[in-house]
Chains A and B, each alone.
Chain A
């Protein structure tokens, strides 16, 4: 446990006044908002797909509560409708969701103390939750993190239920709404790459997708992540031998536990507030 040495997270006993907790929860909900703009419509599309595939309506909230993984759930609809054996379901989910093993690097789970809450936080670590944590590297507290994740979960579940509800009313969902997720990740990538030193990372990421398109177009996301992480490991080996790379360095002032992000010169308003508390 390194949370005690983490200046970002105050010990729960020190600053868990009801007012503090309330404002942290509200901030977590606010941070989840933009992702909800993408998750809710996608959930509606998922719910409609469930009904169109001939699955019972309750399958949408069941899958969304228990699995909580958008792309896998969309796949599962087809698999279940085709009565796919459970072993094949397990392998498919393993391949599609394999990218999640990379998210443990840097996700601020260490601010969460309660065992049950930690289990929930790990289980609800979807792309969007990682993305929001990555785009706002500082100042996470347990109430803020959990409120953000529970909000994302709610947008997704309620979207699915709404989709089941409207499935019989609309001929087809509004085409193109799914672009909200593309726009979300674009914006979050812009926020994460705040300094010129982040540019090589973005270029390496783009190159990794290019390689993945050539090598394994069927597993685009996982292959891209593997290639990108491979490049980073090589870069680490070079840095460990004293090579001076044009990349952001870990901030020695922060916790040795991977608290996300190097502080760039430009940060959003909420992070400035966090920095004030950090130094104060």
Chain B
């Protein structure tokens, strides 16, 4: 993939992608304004974070384990990701919830497992 890339296309793609992304992020705030008083919005605001974060964590776990669609299931890699996730949870709960420590421990474990064991 070393064919020359048109700089104009790079800039245009960046502008288009940026505009679409900004619209997706900003529009709901304008649409939401009349909803602010509603009981539904209040409940969603309280209920969503834990679930949304759990979904992000699970989907990221699946991606880290290369379990994404199309890819064949890589058993040993899934096992590594599960072990590293379990370690992250353990360190976080037992280590008085120091975020950096938990992330560092989990990531180090995964890097070591993937590079040394697989």
Most chain A beta carbons < 10 A, residue from B10, B25, B39: B25
Whether, in the assembled complex, A34 has its beta carbon less than 8 Å from a beta carbon of chain B, the answer is yes
Q: Quote the shortest CB–CB distance from B23 to chain A (angstroms).
A: 9
Q: Residues of A contacting B63 with CB < 8 Å?
A: 182
Instruction: Judge whether A220 and B62 touch: CB under 8 Å.
Output: yes
Q: Residues of A contacting B13 with CB < 8 Å?
A: 76, 79-80, 84, 86, 89
Q: How far is the CA of A18 from the CA of B113 in the complex (A)?
A: 48
Q: Quote the shortest CB–CB distance from A112 to chain B (angstroms).
A: 11
Answer whether A190 and B92 are a contact pair too, CB < 8 Å, given A55-B10, A180-B103. yes
Q: How many residues of A contact B (CB 8 A)?
A: 106
Q: Residues of A contacting B48 with CB < 8 Å?
A: 102, 105-106, 134, 229, 232
Q: Quote the shortest CB–CB distance from A120 to chain B (angstroms).
A: 10
Write the chain B residue with the least CB distance to A83.
B9
Q: How many residues of B contact A (CB 8 A)?
A: 78
Q: Is the interface of A mostly helix, strand, loop or mixed?
A: helix
Q: Residues of A contacting B53 with CB < 8 Å?
A: 131, 134-135, 185, 188-189, 192-193
Q: How far is the CA of A84 from the CA of B12 in the complex (A)?
A: 11
- Set B11, B21, B26, B104: member contacting A93, Cβ < 8 A: B21
Q: Residues of A contacting B39 with CB < 8 Å?
A: 236, 240, 250
Answer whether A105 and B45 are a contact pair too, CB < 8 Å, given A178-B64, A179-B110. yes
Task: Please tell me which stretch of A65-73, A139-147, A163-171 contacts chain B, meaning at least 4 of its Cβ atoms lie within 8 angstroms of it.
Answer: A65-73
Binding site for A on B (CB under 8 A): 1-7, 9-18, 20-22, 24-29, 31-32, 36-37, 39-64, 68-69, 81, 84-85, 88-89, 92-93, 97, 99-100, 102-104, 106-107, 110-111, 113-115
**Total inter-chain residue pairs, C-beta < 8 Å:** 300
Other CB < 8 Å A-B pairs besides A182-B60, A182-B106, 16 of them? A34-B99, A52-B1, A54-B2, A56-B5, A80-B5, A90-B17, A93-B16, A105-B45, A137-B49, A180-B107, A182-B110, A183-B110, A187-B99, A235-B43, A250-B46, A261-B45
Q: Residues of B contacting A106 with CB < 8 Å?
A: 44-46, 48-49
Most chain B beta carbons < 10 A, residue from A33, A189, A268: A189
Instruction: Judge whether B100 and A37 touch: CB under 8 Å.
Output: yes
Q: Quote the shortest CB–CB distance from A38 to chain B (angstroms).
A: 7
Q: Quote the shortest CB–CB distance from A46 to chain B (angstroms).
A: 13
Instruction: Judge whether B92 and A67 touch: CB under 8 Å.
Output: no
Instruction: Judge whether B55 and A221 touch: CB under 8 Å.
Output: yes
Instruction: Judge whether A258 and B103 touch: CB under 8 Å.
Output: no
Instruction: Judge whether A86 and B69 touch: CB under 8 Å.
Output: no
Answer whether A202 and B54 are a contact pair too, CB < 8 Å, given A66-B14, A179-B81, A232-B44. yes
Answer whether A176 and B5 are a contact pair too, CB < 8 Å, given A67-B21, A229-B44. no
Q: Residues of A contacting B93 with CB < 8 Å?
A: 190
Binding site for B on A (CB under 8 A): 2, 33-34, 37-38, 52-56, 59, 62-63, 66-69, 72-73, 76, 79-81, 83-84, 86, 89-90, 93-94, 97-98, 100-106, 109, 119, 122-123, 125, 127, 130-131, 134-135, 137, 174-193, 198, 201-202, 204-206, 208-209, 213, 217-218, 220-221, 224-225, 228-229, 232-233, 235-236, 239-240, 247-251, 256-262, 268
